[in-house]
C-alpha cells in the first residue's frame, strides 16, 4: 500500500539520488506513532524503531537474540498505512535487555521500495530542520518576529511569533517543493496549496492565488505535513513543535 498515491510520485530513474544516501539514518520523532514488528520464521516480535534509512532500519527488540544473516520480514504501520518487506539481519549487538539489530532491506520490487521511501520522507524531512541564523532573516511584519527553519533542498518552515523570537507562535508557512501549507492561531483549518495549481495574476487578482485542490490531493498534503511535524527535531523549540503539531485539518 502506497502511503501517498497522488503526491511524492517518482519512478525508478529518480531513485539514484536516494540510493547515494543509503547510509544516512533518520530518527523518528517520539510523537510519530510508527509501529514495527519483526517476523523471523513465522514468529513476530514487537520492535522499537531506533532509526530508518533508505537501505534499512535499526531496531531494538526484547527477548532472545537473533543471528546475524537471518532472513526476516519487517512490518511497519502508522495510522491506516501498513507495509511489509523482506530484510536481512546485518548486525546484532547484545544489550542488557534484548538486542539492537541493523536490518538491510530486500525489496521484492520497485513498488515495495517506493512505498517504504514514501513513508521515510516525513521522517527524513522533519528530523533535519535546523534554524536559519537570525541575521539572514528579514523582519517585515510589525509586532511579529519571523523564524525560519531549513533542511533538505526544497523544504522550508517559517513561523511568526508575537513580539520576539521567544514569544508565542501565531502563524506558520511550510513549503516542500510544490506543496504549501499555511495556518494561524485560532484558524478553523489550514490553507493547503500546490504551486502546480497557481493561477496567472491578472488586473483583477494581482496577487498569488491557487486553484482548489481535489479532496484526495489535499488530504495527502495534509497527511504529509502532519507526519513531518511529528518528526521535527529538537532544533525546533518545543513550544513551536507543540503549536505546529496541533494543526490537524
Model pLDDT, residue 101: 97
> Smallest Cα–Cα separation from 84: which of 20, 26, 38, 124?
38
State pLDDT tens for residues 101-110: 999 999 999 9
Give the helix/strand (H/E) hosting 125: helix 110-126
Residues listed for the chain: 249
Report how far apart the first and last C-alpha atoms of the chain are (Å, whole number): 23
Model pLDDT, residue 19: 58
Report pTM: 0.91
Residues of the chain with CATH 2.40.10.220: 12-120
State pLDDT tens for residues 45-96: 999 999 999 999 999 999 888 999 999 999 999 999 999 999 999 999 998 8
State pLDDT tens for residues 139-170: 999 999 999 999 988 999 999 999 999 999 99
Gap between the Cα atoms of 136 and 142, Å rounded: 18
Model pLDDT, residue 206: 60
Model pLDDT, residue 34: 97
Instruction: List, in sequence order, every beta strand (DSSP E) within the chain.
Output: 35-40, 43-53, 56-61, 71-78, 81-94, 99-106, 130-131, 144-150, 155-162, 169-176, 179-184, 191-194, 198-199, 209-210
State pLDDT tens for residues 7-37: 988 877 777 665 565 568 999 999 999 999 9
Q: What's the CATH number for 12-120? A: 2.40.10.220
Gap between the Cα atoms of 67 and 161, Å rounded: 52
State pLDDT tens for residues 197-246: 655 565 666 656 667 889 999 999 999 999 999 999 999 999 999 999 99
**What band does 1 get if pLDDT is binned at 50, 70 and 90?**
confident
Amino acid at each position: 500500500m502506497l502511503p501517498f498515491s497522488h503526491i511524492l510520485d517518482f519512478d525508478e530513474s529518480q531513485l539514484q539520488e536516494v540510493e547515494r544516501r543509503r547510509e544516512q539514518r533518520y530518527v523518528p520523532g517520539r510523537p510519530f506513532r510508527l509501529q514495527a514488528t519483526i517476523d523471523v520464521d513465522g514468529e513476530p516480535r514487537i520492535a522499537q524503531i531506533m532509526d530508518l534509512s533508505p537501505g534499512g532500519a535499526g531496531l531494538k527488540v526484547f527477548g532472545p537474540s537473533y543471528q546475524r544473516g537471518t532472513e526476516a520480514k519487517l512490518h511497519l504501520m502508522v495510522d491506516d498505512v501498513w507495509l511489509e518487506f523482506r530484510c536481512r539481519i546485518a548486525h546484532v549487538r547484545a544489550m542488557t535487555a534484548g538486542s539492537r539489530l541493523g536490518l538491510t532491506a530486500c525489496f521484492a520490487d520497485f513498488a515495495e521500495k517506493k512505498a517504504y521511501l514514501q513513508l521515510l520522507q516525513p521522517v527524513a524531512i522533519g528530523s533535519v530542520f535546523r534554524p536559519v541564523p537570525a541575521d539572514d532573516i528579514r523582519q517585515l511584519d510589525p509586532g511579529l518576529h519571523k523564524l525560519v527553519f531549513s533542511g533538505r533542498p526544497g523544504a522550508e518552515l517559517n513561523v511568526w511569533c508575537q513580539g520576539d523570537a521567544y514569544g508565542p507562535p501565531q502563524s506558520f508557512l511550510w513549503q516542500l517543493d510544490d506543496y504549501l501549507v499555511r495556518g494561524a492561531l485560532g484558524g478553523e483549518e489550514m490553507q493547503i496549496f500546490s504551486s502546480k495549481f497557481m493561477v496567472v495574476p491578472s488586473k483583477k487578482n494581482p496577487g498569488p492565488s491557487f486553484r482548489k485542490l481535489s479532496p484526495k490531493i489535499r488530504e495527502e498534503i495534509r497527511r504529509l505535513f502532519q507526519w513531518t511535524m511529528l518528526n521535527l527535531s529538537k532544533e525546533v523549540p518545543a513550544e513551536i513543535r507543540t503549536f505546529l503539531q496541533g494543526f490537524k485539518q
